[in-house]
Structure 1
Amino acid sequence: MAVALDDLPGYRRRFRVTAGPGWVRSDLEDDYHHMHVTLRHQGGVVTAVEPVMVRAPWTTCPGAVERLKATFTGAPLADVPGRNSDKATNCTHLHDLATLAATHAFDREPLTYDILTSDPVDGRRRIELRRNGEPVMTWVEQDGRLAEPAAASGLTLLQLRPFIESLDAEGQERARILRWGAIVAHGRAIPLENQSDATRMPPTCFTFQPENKVKAARVGEIRDFSKGTLKPLEPRTGA
């Protein structure tokens, strides 16, 4: 009998989006990150960007807060989801949170996305996205390539752009969220000492830009939410 994904060791990530009149906030927590972004808007324009980093993996990450403010303050709210040309110069996680917030700025109900991945066993991983607790997208990866779904079979996570662009708007959002979570999850299989030299990293985010990577040091608590009963973004005793 197959073991439930919830009962397997692995990576967990949660997004939560809540909106009200003139504001929308998106939260993220996983093994390595805990942060949130609030967008305030009026007349279809972002009037204020309020990012907060509670937990991040590098000493340089907090500098990305001001970068995000500069990127989106004054932007039309409808343009935020398409602003990907400057993503690599931002914290990609804060950028994703801003995009998710803008997309759901007028939702009437809170939205939660959960990503669950199993640690590899014989090269096989199970990867699942849940929306408000219900599974909406499931992938299986074998030896670094997707075995399921059939439409993406044989592709690596880094080769999924054409597949994602073939989906409808809702499917694209879900697939992008799941893809990035599954990529981040690979960090569980890499010894910390092998992922703590920022100078070896390509310039894919704020910390890994040339002017920042030379002074970046690994810092921050790493949590394993597949152990115990605590879930990402749940309140902690004494917090």
Structure 2
Amino acid sequence: MKPGYRRRIVIDPAPGHVSAELEDDYHRMLVTLTHADGVVTAVTSDMKRNPWTMCPGAMDQLQRTFTGVKLADFARRGEKTQNCTHLHDLSLFAAAHAADSAPVAYDILVTDAVDGVREASLTRNGAPCLAWTLKGEEFLAPADLAGRHMGQLNEVIAQQDKAGAEAMRILRWASLIAHGRTRAMPAGMPATDFPLGSCFNFQTGRAEESFRRPGADIDFSQPGAAPLADRPEFQNT
């Protein structure tokens, strides 16, 4: 098994509600949207594993952000950095798939760098979807992205269909989060060791009171370990 960062996202639509759950090295979180006539009537969430002591307060913020919002307007609602960015992303995924008739599962792997080069890949429902080779934040492959910087990906995403754009956004974000594997983050580390303003936890006035939680991190590179492996649909895979 290649050492690297792993993330799994599962989106489950059903009549009147839709849920989205993710797990990776640092997080396990779940969002459920209840909706009627295209409008979200309730937002519930759960942080089953979170890295910082102040993260749980973001669940109330998520309710305030999306309750009463039309599903079609979620992507335009904004306020991402005022929320837990992971709960916010899950909310957008759930809203985008609320009318689907079947679940969607994404699996992501970003390998640890070897000579500065990382391999980032994404599958959708088990089928290969994206495969990138990165040196730092520059694309080496595929050929149509070679030479671009990660920060220049928006114009490419804008040319994709809905499914393609979602996949590229997911893999881009995972590729950035994967850098966390290169930094020691011991329990008790203050949130102020990181730049402020990037999410709910890192807002000024909150980051000063937030610290790294013990036991928050899991290395899914270990044999037999996989994100969301306890979900029923993965028990026999």
Q: Could you say whether these structures have the same fold, taking a TM-score greater than 0.5 normalized by the shorter chain as the test?
A: yes
The 5 Å alignment of 1:103-114 reads 103-114=96-107
Deviation at 1:31, TM superposition (A): 0.4
* Residue number in structure 2 paired with 1:26: 20
Superposed CA offset, 1:149-171 (max 9, x none): 23332233333222222322221
TM-score by length of 1: 0.91
* Residue number in structure 1 paired with 2:139: 146
1:222 counterpart = 2:217: yes
Aligned residue for 1:201, secondary structure, equals coil
Identity %: 46
What amino acid does structure 2 have at the position aligned with 1:39? Answer: L
Larger deviation, residues 147-156 vs 200-209: 147-156
* Residue number in structure 2 paired with 1:4: none
1:129 is aligned, of 122, 128, 131, to 122
Deviation at 1:113, TM superposition (A): 0.3
Larger deviation, residues 228-237 vs 110-119: 228-237
The 5 Å alignment of 1:180-219 reads 180-192=173-185, 196-199=189-192, 200-219=194-213
Indicate if the aligned counterparts of 2:111 and 2:120 stay in contact, CA closer than 8 A.
Answer: yes
TM-score by length of 2: 0.91
What amino acid does structure 2 have at the position aligned with 1:21? Answer: P
What amino acid does structure 1 have at the position aligned with 2:216? Answer: E
Aligned residue for 1:137, secondary structure, equals strand
Indicate if the aligned counterparts of 1:40 and 1:47 stay in contact, CA closer than 8 A.
Answer: yes
Q: In the aligned structure 2, how far is the partner of 1:61 from the partner of 1:158?
A: 27
Q: In the aligned structure 2, how far is the partner of 1:38 from the partner of 1:173?
A: 19
Aligned residue for 2:205, secondary structure, equals helix
Q: In the aligned structure 2, how far is the partner of 1:20 from the partner of 1:42?
A: 12
* Residue number in structure 2 paired with 1:74: 68
TM superposition outliers: structure 1 runs of 4+ over 3 Å: none
1:63 is aligned, of 57, 72, 76, to 57
Q: What is the CA RMSD across the aligned residues, in angstroms?
A: 1.9
Deviation at 1:65, TM superposition (A): 0.2
Q: In the aligned structure 2, how far is the partner of 1:18 from the partner of 1:146?
A: 32
2:87 is aligned, of 75, 87, 94, to 94
Q: In the aligned structure 1, how far is the partner of 2:34 from the partner of 2:50?
A: 24
Q: In the aligned structure 1, how far is the partner of 2:91 from the partner of 2:108?
A: 18
Q: In the aligned structure 2, how far is the partner of 1:37 from the partner of 1:151?
A: 35
Deviation at 1:105, TM superposition (A): 0.6
Aligned residue for 2:20, secondary structure, equals strand
Structure 2 portions without partners, runs of 5+: none
Superposed CA offset, 1:176-231 (max 9, x none): 000111111110011225x9442241311001111211111011421111111121
* Residue number in structure 1 paired with 2:228: 233
What amino acid does structure 2 have at the position aligned with 1:224? Answer: D
Deviation at 1:75, TM superposition (A): 0.3
Structure 1 portions without partners, runs of 5+: 1-6
Q: In the aligned structure 1, how far is the partner of 2:226 from the partner of 2:220?
A: 6
Q: In the aligned structure 1, how far is the partner of 2:28 from the partner of 2:218?
A: 10
Indicate if the aligned counterparts of 2:18 and 2:95 stay in contact, CA closer than 8 A.
Answer: yes
